[in-house]
Structure 1
Amino acid sequence: MLVIGVTAFATKIYFDVKGSVDKTYETVERQETGAGRDGKVNLNNKESFSILLMGVDTGDLGRTDTGRSDAIMVATVSPEDNKTQVVSIPRDTYMEIVGYGTFDKVNHAYAFGGPAMSMDSLEKYLDIPIDHYAAINLKGIQDLVNAVGGVTVNNDLAFTIDGIPFDIGQIELDGEEALAFVRMRYDDPRGDYGRQERQRIVIQGIMQKLISINSMTKYQSILDAISDNMKTDMDFATMQTIALDYRDAFSTIQMDQLQGEGFMQEGVSYQRVSDEELARVQAELKDQMNLQ
């Protein structure tokens, strides 16, 4: 009876997860940029891979259009080093928008051509293969934080936004608080870089909750939050391989920030990244992916 019960429960979880992942799957048609390795990544051989993480402003303040990728991170996952490197890309970074024939802010690539154009543009800019993407709307952040039971973050700036006060130090955030926390930038002397730092620590808090054994008791709420708010080109088999074979690579998560300097062009503000800073981040990501 016990074996039958455990088997039935495991089977239910399996099909629940598969059903939710199938809802998030959305394939992309890519352009060849010539960056990185030859051919696609082989996860069955436990090769290092990269994933573009995007938080889009669809679902924020009632928006329902395609939106722009206002939170942009590139994560490289190395099973050889048992480490994941996450680099934040300023949304106003001035770069070539591959496939659109122009230079513009990187976050406009998503509005112009969706995930594929964002992947192609960042692949050429960073000179590494961008293997996969996952895009979640901002309401999804709120739902996901609630689903995992809240997150704990270390806050280095006292501020109030939307009537919610945030104190300095270790604080607990529910979904509504987490969404306000990652959206604030105008009261931060660091501007958008401060906001990107808060985005990183909330993502890190969510990942720590997701890989904990306690998340199993909340798996249905987590699946609902993901399936309703996320799109990715990773199918169920791919996610299954990553979950089983790459788990140790998520035990150490290192954060970094691509730094630029603001400039104005035709009345629009951008961030220009120096050649030295871009080369530093490119070398870091290539080393992580064993492409050096």
Structure 2
Amino acid sequence: MESRKERREQKQGKRSKKKIIWTIVILLLVGIISYGVYLYMKLNDTVDTMYTPLESDTEKKEEVQTRLDDKDTVNVLLLGVDERENDVGRSDTMILLSLNPDTEEMLMFNIPRDTRVSIPGHDKDKINHAYAFGGSELAVQTAENFLDTTVHFYARINMEGLKDGVDAIGGVTVNNDQAFSHGGHDFPTGEITLNGEEALIYSRMRKEDPRGDLGRNTRQQQIINQLINEAMSFESFTRVDNILGAVGSNVQTNTDMEEMRQLFLDYRGTREETIQVEIDGTGQRLWSPNVQQELYYYVVSDQEKSRIRNLLEEHMNEE
């Protein structure tokens, strides 16, 4: 039989084990909370760095907040800008994302950069010239007029910084339907995984593509869609530090911290189904009043504009 001393020693041993376990649990909780506080502060700093409101935001503020509170569809315009030293740059990439949390669908389409549109204060010209004429403000206004809709949020992305973003999430995987070589890299058909530099080159190629700008638009949509999916995944949580660093130095947006929180919580389900749409048009050489010579334009008919506008409106109102 066990002696009283042995039983006492066993109880003390059990208490010591419990203390060790509880100490480990408390240390883990403290570590998790501390890391959470650190991430929140870093996220807040990153959002402050990116936050660049537009003048037109003042008149939209009430509508935007109401739509977020009611979980109504919101539109986000992505401007991919290639800015170099002493050059304001042009928005070579314009992608509209329309996020409907009711249907959990994201409508996504490129506006081809050569699309001939009316630019407020600058007559008719290529839509990518709007950014050169008046920055994000005029680019957003021009897109709104072309689509006859409201752009609730915008994000201006430095395309060179796309490399940092893709590398930060560990690369993206896309399904390539056309084998090609470009910029010193080979891109075979099928499923391929791209690092940052490869993703940038893959998304820029258009001259070797028989579909030209439309083919490039499709590749850009692939990259953006995969970036969104990867950034939202659990695996990317371990890379959040790198992601915030890449985003903060390459993105400007009019989305503040609270709006980002609402978008993340209430609209993240829209990434589950992406509807990619192509804007049809024809290539034509027409007179440009801004440069006083003929330029190549992508001309979208009134009928096609009506189709796109109706599609967007139906998506926004669908429940």
| Match of residue 209 from structure 1 | 230
Structure 1 position 16, deviation (Å): 1.0
Q: Is the 8 A contact 1:57 1:67 kept in 2?
A: yes
**Matched letter for residue 286 of structure 1:** E
| Match of residue 275 from structure 2 | 254
| Match of residue 41 from structure 2 | 15
Q: Is the 8 A contact 1:90 1:192 kept in 2?
A: yes
CA deviations over 1:33-83 (Å, ceiling 9, x no partner) = 99xxx9445212212110101111125xxx563210001111111111111
Give the root-mean-square deviation of aligned CA atoms: 2.0
Structure 1 position 168, deviation (Å): 0.8
Q: Secondary structure at the match of 2:317?
A: coil
Percent of aligned positions that are identical: 37
Q: Is the 8 A contact 1:127 1:282 kept in 2?
A: yes
Distance 2:218 2:163 in 1: 17
Select the residue among 256, 260, 277 that pairs with 1:235.
256
Distance 1:273 1:291 in 2: 26
| Match of residue 17 from structure 2 | none
| Match of residue 162 from structure 1 | 183
Alignment length (residue pairs): 285
**Matched letter for residue 195 of structure 2:** D
Distance 1:75 1:133 in 2: 10
| Match of residue 83 from structure 2 | 58
Q: Secondary structure at the match of 2:135?
A: helix
**Matched letter for residue 234 of structure 1:** T
Structure 1 position 146, deviation (Å): 0.4
Unpaired segments of 5 or more residues in structure 1?
Answer: none
| Match of residue 106 from structure 1 | 127
**Matched letter for residue 46 of structure 2:** S
| Match of residue 176 from structure 1 | 197
Change in CA separation of 1:41 and 1:101 when aligned onto 2, cut-off 3 Å: farther
Change in CA separation of 1:186 and 1:33 when aligned onto 2, cut-off 3 Å: farther
Structure 1 position 158, deviation (Å): 1.0
Structure 1 position 32, deviation (Å): 11
Distance 1:195 1:277 in 2: 20
Q: Is the 8 A contact 2:92 2:113 kept in 1?
A: yes
Q: How does 1:1-292 map to 2 (within 5 A)?
A: 1=26, 2-30=28-56, 39-42=63-66, 43-58=68-83, 63=85, 65-98=87-120, 100-266=121-287, 267-290=294-317
Change in CA separation of 1:275 and 1:227 when aligned onto 2, cut-off 3 Å: same
Q: Secondary structure at the match of 1:84?
A: strand
Larger CA Rg, structure 1 vs 2: 2
Structure 1 position 132, deviation (Å): 1.0
Larger helix percent: 2
**Matched letter for residue 47 of structure 1:** D
Change in CA separation of 1:118 and 1:41 when aligned onto 2, cut-off 3 Å: farther
Pick which of 271-280 and 168-177 moved more: 271-280
CA deviations over 1:211-257 (Å, ceiling 9, x no partner) = 11011000011111100111101011111111112121222222111
Report the TM-score when normalising by structure 2.
0.85
**Matched letter for residue 288 of structure 1:** H
Change in CA separation of 1:41 and 1:104 when aligned onto 2, cut-off 3 Å: farther
Distance 1:19 1:153 in 2: 32
Change in CA separation of 1:150 and 1:279 when aligned onto 2, cut-off 3 Å: same
Structure 1 position 4, deviation (Å): 2.1
Pick which of 246-255 and 149-158 moved more: 246-255
Q: Is the 8 A contact 1:82 1:252 kept in 2?
A: yes
Q: Following TM superposition, where does structure 1 have runs of at least 4 consecutive aligned residues deviating by more than 6 angstroms?
A: 31-34
Change in CA separation of 1:260 and 1:33 when aligned onto 2, cut-off 3 Å: farther
Report the TM-score when normalising by structure 1.
0.93
